[in-house]
Amino acid sequence: MRCFYENRIADFITESTSEIIGKIVLNSGFADETTQKRAWEVEIELLKDSLSSIQAGNIYFEFSVPRMGSRIDVVLSINGILFVIEFKVGAKDFLSSYYDQVFDYALDLKNFHESSHDLVIAPVAVSTEAEDQVIALQMTPHKDKVYYPVHISGQQVSELIQLMLKDNKPSNHLENWSKGRYAPTPTIIEAAKSLYNDHSVEEISRSDASAKNLRETSKKIEEIIEHAKSNHEKAICFVTGVPGAGKTLVGLNIATQHSRKDTQASSVFLSGNGPLVAILREALTRDRVKREKEKGKKIKKGQVLSQVKAFIQNVHHYRDEYLLDAQAPYDHVAIFDEAQRAWNLEQTKAFMKSKKNKPDFNFSEPEFLISCLDRHKDWAVIVCLVGGGQEINTGEAGISEWIESLNRSYPDWSIYISDRLTDKEYAAGKSLEMLSTHKSVDFSTSLHLSVSLRSFRAERLSDFVKCVLDLEADQAKDQYQYFEDRYPLLLTRDLQKAKYWLKEQARGSERYGMIVSSQAERLKPYAIDVKSPIQPIHWFLNDKRDVRSSYYMESVATEFHVQGLELDWTCVCWDGDLRFVNDTWKGNSFRGDKWQNINKLSRQKYLLNAYRVLLTRARQGMIIFIPKGNESDHTRLPSFYDGTYEYLLKCGIKEI
């Protein structure tokens, strides 16, 4: 249920505290913990006193926020105003973490809870034992009607409510506010934590008609797994989707549904994206340790991490394990994230010869990975999650190698394919034509995710970026018009202005940072050094106080760090490695003391895809910084940058 207790405020005041706590406990399923019950008692008595003069409105205790895997202490709905209250019982101080926590709750309701979209929302942090404060309300809220949080003592709740009611015109009371549809779009980190803590994909994903129903794709994969298990078959399915459409979310959902190792359908989530694996593991570990601590239980971080590692694995480590172990893997279901990035035969052979002392190894990575699951005597299922235009490194085979491996070596496997795998950005090429003679091939619309959910303010962002990189300026401008009022997208030639803009846009713990192409080697005059390594875990997970975090903007992440992940707000720093010259893109690589042309088609594709990744990382908005250049520096001439700047203006992006 959405909350553990709800009532009209008038009835709440007359109901006994013990009755209210009894209902909360009954609905929560929480253990009978004295400290928690005492906290509820303090909150209830305080609110009874504070709300004694309120004649209308509703009160909600422990309102669920599944996207964040937590609950709001109390929500009050009075005269069209939502008071989102986080109590810190016994606290005498006001920490910045309280501020961000309650702000995050308010923004979550505003963005993702249908009944809250048009309401005024006032986030409030209450330190019950603090001294009274001067209530410094910003009397004009943000344009989305969300006030900045207020810190108050336990005795100031009534004063705050009266001030808010005085300064806002009353509107109709929403009797069924809590029943409104909750349709979030979580980050992949938020999704992983929620799914790992037994939330369903329905709870943490949108279900409106404009978004592809993730349940449909998940259901199709479940049907494939059940059919393979029941009929003792081996099957592989290819799920396609635009950047940010939820492919990884689908994969994590399937993995968590089959995560129990005492079943015959256990699963493993595999990715060759090292930063993604490390970040997800750390995020899940920190979250579980935190939850256990809140329950009064101590658990060692290493113990949790070992459990998480069995659930999310690096595909290269998985591969190496089954080089040594000739038995069938424990798991019957393997989900390969970013399957298009698996290594081709040449790259795999070279690695095996130089790093593993196996000079006779003669498999591409896809073919060897299929061979591992093929060892099962009864059944197995492989789920390949495929992004279009996402190959960004040498030796990445694209999806064609998977198909050719099936054609060449595994004729008995059933193949389920997204009907969009034929699109050119998936680079399946002529290998698809070979499937006409395969035993069992099923093309399905259910295996394609067509709408980007990452940028919940701009579903067409990926289409816009595609047009920009495909040199279709007029079409890009048309696409931009669909979301320019909801998704800020700006250009600047002043890096300090870009940094200031990021800080101004972000609220609560919304994450922002600077991202850059790994080839952008001449941004050093701006203290942007792509050769200075970041620690992705710190950059993506640590808070605003940590100089290693993205918030400090002292270090930058490249396409290799951010692929598969996202931030709320980004600054994309654009160097002379990709230039718009004479109506086309020119790729350049910095060697020694000068730029050199990139002539090899595969490397040109990798560079364009790197910028495709960078330009699709922001959920809420981005600013693109393009330097002015310097006439006295032959490596940073203005001509390296001016054409790109003018082209992006032509695509509709406005200068800040």
pLDDT tens digits for range 444-498: 889 988 776 666 777 789 889 999 999 999 999 999 999 999 999 999 999 999 9
Ranges assigned E (strand) in 248-318? 267-271, 312-314
**Separation between Cα atoms, residue 275 and residue 558, nearest integer Å:** 11
Rounded to an integer, what distance in angstroms lies between the CA atom of residue 656 and that of residue 643? Answer: 18
What pLDDT does residue 429 have? 60
Buried b (16+ CB within 10 A) or exposed e, 593-615: eebeebeeeeebbbbbbbbbbbb
Question: Which of 357, 343, 134, 373 lies closest to 237, judged by CA?
Answer: 373
Helix (H, G, I), strand (E, B) or coil at 111: helix
Closest to 620 measured CA to CA, from 511, 516, 479, 514: 511
Angle CA(376)–CA(340)–CA(574) in degrees, nearest 5? Answer: 150
CB within 8 Å of 2: residues ≥ 6 apart? 60, 63, 64, 178, 179, 182
Beta partners for residue 416, in sequence order: 237, 442
Q: How do beta strands 584-591 and 594-597 pair?
A: antiparallel
578-581 vs 414-418, strand pairing mode: unpaired
Q: What is the pLDDT of residue 614?
A: 97
Query: Can you give the pLDDT at residue 453?
Result: 66
Q: How far, in Å, CA of 198 to CA of 252, rounded?
A: 12
Beta carbons within 8 Å of 589's beta carbon, 6+ residues apart = 519, 577, 595, 596, 598, 603
- β-strand partners of 59: 7, 76
CB 415 within 8 A of CB 399: no
Domains 211-273+317-449 and 461-655 in one fold? yes
The architecture in CATH of the region 211-273+317-449 reads: 3-Layer(aba) Sandwich (3.40)
pLDDT lower than 70: segments of the chain: 29-32, 136-140, 170-174, 201-202, 204-213, 259-265, 388-397, 423-431, 434, 452-455
Identity of the residue numbered 131: E
656's enclosing H/E stretch is none
Domain chopping of the chain, boundaries: 5-179, 211-273+317-449, 461-655
Residue 353, pLDDT score: 87
Contact 468, 480 (CB under 8 A): no
User: What does the pLDDT read at residue 249?
Assistant: 85
CATH of domain 461-655: 3.40.50
pLDDT for 392 equals 61
Mean pLDDT over the full length of the chain: 88
